[in-house]
A and B are shown apart, each in its own frame.
Chain A
């Protein structure tokens, strides 16, 4: 037992020394790449980006939208989102590109109509029409893809679907425009059925510079074979839209006073058309096209620079409207931002102010906005595109934790929260007032070690502690801890910090020691059979009480005596001769007697008979052996 203790203590010391050395080493472990969490700006950033792109498309700023979409190949995209994001991106790029082409073909068709090239205009309209039907299909795919993208990004799909609805509305306006153009072309196209006389139609204007909304006198002639055609109806078109009709006199001359529509573009075309009835022998004809310079006032819109917007707060935008350096008073100003339409009126000094409510759920990023000055009379409309940067006040959390801990205990994290970049905001008048008293209270603090979590509502006090209980079942290893905060105010960002902590499990420390110790104890402890053999008193008693039982009893009594004498055990596996050999060197004088007894006993066991003389000798040998043992015992005592 003494040996056992010392072995155990030495083993324990060696084990502790080795395990300390081993734990100080960090063996590189294989990490499954699929299990590594990917970090990116997603999902909020990507979602806001696509909303912005669709906004640009609905504002018909297709080139800018396509330019933005081209940037997506620079984005880092997590593996699980790659497919759906690229699918959505492709559909959006396709739809934007087609809408751009539709716009181009419609413009071209209008230009061709203006110069009476009806065939070319028809081709353009057909092209636009076929693109429109393709775009409708693309938008349907975009809609389903938007739902899938929102699902994968784990955000609500509504904002994205609302934007897709806006795109659908845009398609409807294009469809109507294409329909109108088709009707106009059909109206103007002459019937090819019979050979007709082609008359000549001219047009003139009293002036080529005209104010919008003012009246203009248009006149001209309709002649065939240099002879004026009387009582024929002449239709006058301004920018492809009919603005009046006149009847020719007996000389084929016509005259009409038209009002110039309120169209605010530098130049406009005007032409006249003769559309004969089916019974007449004349073919329809166009006049020459007059290009008019349109005169109107262009107001000057000035928007003051404004700070970044904070979700859940109002953003104030100041502006000023003037015309020829004089303020325009009581003029309507419209603002479109965040799916909301607001309006206000200019004051005496031409200034206006918008309090734009920023939705609390909006993602951070750049959001487009438009300020529109509607036209009125000779004053043209003005449009200004703005970009509102939505930001959140960044919160930083510093966490202090011990690098090593035991499972079955509580791990305490000391946390310190600080606001970042608040100086920039407080420097701005908009936020100065309320940011002065801004504190970091009412935060939801979440601490996680491995799979064990702890949540607390932090009311006040900075720094503060949060504890996570790691149960005893946690095995030894490096665990990732994460402390995250979620503020109740929408303009403050969430923050989290991660780290690693080494948790030592008492189970994995003690288990090896206990296992080995238990094994050693089990090995040292004799088997039940052996234990029975070791209780000699009982056997001896039997032998001494029944000495006449025979040679076998004498032999085994002698074996027990020898075991007590010299400590050599008769194992189960030993034969009589093996045991005799085992005791040969140690029994000294007694060996000769024990040999006589053993051989006689062997003969008794295996031979058919044994001489009585030999049996008697064996018995006397036992007696002598016994007397030697008694003598030895006395000496020992």
Chain B
């Protein structure tokens, strides 16, 4: 199996597993889901290094969302 296929399948299984795991743990916050999906995406990308034709727009979007969520949490702690 080539690298691209392995990457797609691994990412799909990671996302599916994360969703099921978070649901089973009764996680109701969307930010938790987005954070875990971001981590899944970057892990799969780092391991398989798929060839890209353009800039990784998905990765950038997920990273911005993740930074925003973390910033909110940090602010929450600091303001308290």
Q: Is there contact, CB below 8 Å, between A23 and B15? A: no
Contact of A19 among B20, B29, B33 (CB under 8 A): B20
Q: Chain B's nearest CB lies how many Å from the CB of A274?
A: 75
Binary contact track A242-282/B, C-beta < 8 Å → 1, others 0: 00000000000000000000000000000000000000000
| A519–B7 alpha-carbon span in the complex (Å) | 10
Binary contact track B1-40/A, C-beta < 8 Å → 1, others 0: 1000100110111011101101111111110010000000
- Which residues of chain B from 29 to 68 have a CB within 8 Å of any chain A CB? 29-30, 33
Q: Is there contact, CB below 8 Å, between B8 and A522? A: yes
Q: Does A475 contact B (CB under 8 A)?
A: yes
- Residue of A with least CB distance to B5: A523
| A127–B61 alpha-carbon span in the complex (Å) | 75
Residues of chain B within 8 A (CB-CB) of A516 are 12-13, 16
Say which one of A108-116, A194-202, A507-515 lies at the interface with B.
A507-515
Q: Does A7 contact B (CB under 8 A)?
A: no
Residues of chain B within 8 A (CB-CB) of A450 are 28
Q: Is there contact, CB below 8 Å, between B25 and A29? A: yes
Residues of B contacting A: mostly: helix
| A479–B15 alpha-carbon span in the complex (Å) | 24
Known A27-B24, A27-B25; judge A512-B17 contact (CB<8 A): yes
User: How extensive is the interface on chain A, given as a class?
Assistant: 20 to 34
Residues of chain A within 8 A (CB-CB) of B26 are 26-27, 29, 476-478, 502
Q: Is there contact, CB below 8 Å, between A475 and B30? A: yes
| A501–B27 alpha-carbon span in the complex (Å) | 14
Q: Chain B's nearest CB lies how many Å from the CB of A416?
A: 29
Total interface residues in chain B, CB < 8 Å: 22
Q: Is there contact, CB below 8 Å, between B30 and A519? A: no
Q: Is there contact, CB below 8 Å, between A513 and B16? A: yes
| A450–B29 alpha-carbon span in the complex (Å) | 11
Residues of chain A within 8 A (CB-CB) of B27 are 475-477
Residues of chain A within 8 A (CB-CB) of B15 are 511-512, 515
Contact of A512 among B8, B9, B20, B29 (CB under 8 A): B20
- Residue of A with least CB distance to B32: A475
Q: Chain A's nearest CB lies how many Å from the CB of B22?
A: 8
Q: Does A25 contact B (CB under 8 A)?
A: yes
| A505–B25 alpha-carbon span in the complex (Å) | 13
| A79–B16 alpha-carbon span in the complex (Å) | 41
- Which residues of chain A from 9 to 50 have a CB within 8 Å of any chain B CB? 18-19, 22-23, 25-27, 29
Q: Does A605 contact B (CB under 8 A)?
A: no
Residues of chain A within 8 A (CB-CB) of B16 are 511-513, 515-516
Known A512-B15, A515-B12, A516-B13; judge A477-B23 contact (CB<8 A): yes
| A427–B15 alpha-carbon span in the complex (Å) | 66
Q: Chain B's nearest CB lies how many Å from the CB of A406?
A: 13
Q: Is there contact, CB below 8 Å, between B12 and A518? A: yes
Q: Chain A's nearest CB lies how many Å from the CB of B3?
A: 12
| A25–B16 alpha-carbon span in the complex (Å) | 19
| A285–B52 alpha-carbon span in the complex (Å) | 114
Q: Is there contact, CB below 8 Å, between A519 and B28? A: no
Q: Chain B's nearest CB lies how many Å from the CB of A507?
A: 9
Q: Is there contact, CB below 8 Å, between A505 and B13? A: no
Q: Is there contact, CB below 8 Å, between B8 and A475? A: no
Residues of chain B within 8 A (CB-CB) of A29 are 25-26
Residues of chain A within 8 A (CB-CB) of B1 are 523
Q: Chain A's nearest CB lies how many Å from the CB of B54?
A: 16
Contact of B19 among A25, A477, A508 (CB under 8 A): A508
| A512–B33 alpha-carbon span in the complex (Å) | 13
Contact of B23 among A473, A476, A520 (CB under 8 A): A476
Q: Does A85 contact B (CB under 8 A)?
A: no
Residues of chain A within 8 A (CB-CB) of B33 are 475
Q: Is there contact, CB below 8 Å, between B20 and A25? A: no
Q: Does A150 contact B (CB under 8 A)?
A: no
Q: Is there contact, CB below 8 Å, between B23 and A475? A: yes
Contact of A25 among B8, B13, B17, B24 (CB under 8 A): B24
| A216–B20 alpha-carbon span in the complex (Å) | 100
Q: Is there contact, CB below 8 Å, between B19 and A523? A: no
Q: Is there contact, CB below 8 Å, between A519 and B11? A: yes
Q: Chain B's nearest CB lies how many Å from the CB of A15?
A: 8
Residues of chain A within 8 A (CB-CB) of B20 are 18-19, 22, 508, 512
Residues of chain A within 8 A (CB-CB) of B12 are 515-516, 518-520
Residues of chain A within 8 A (CB-CB) of B11 are 519
| A450–B27 alpha-carbon span in the complex (Å) | 13
| A581–B16 alpha-carbon span in the complex (Å) | 40
Residues of chain A within 8 A (CB-CB) of B29 are 475
Q: Does A474 contact B (CB under 8 A)?
A: yes
| A529–B48 alpha-carbon span in the complex (Å) | 21
| A477–B32 alpha-carbon span in the complex (Å) | 13
- Residue of B with least CB distance to A25: B24
Q: Is there contact, CB below 8 Å, between B28 and A477? A: yes
| A477–B19 alpha-carbon span in the complex (Å) | 12
Chain B residues packing against A (C-beta within 8 Å): 1, 5, 8-9, 11-13, 15-17, 19-20, 22-30, 33
The 6 listed contacts between A and B (C-beta, < 8 Å) are: A23-B23, A475-B28, A477-B26, A509-B23, A516-B12, A520-B9
Please name 11 further chain A to chain B contacts, defined as beta carbons within 8 Å, in addition to the given A476-B23, A478-B26, A522-B8, sorted by A numbering. Answer: A23-B23, A27-B24, A29-B25, A450-B28, A475-B33, A505-B23, A508-B23, A512-B15, A516-B13, A519-B12, A523-B5
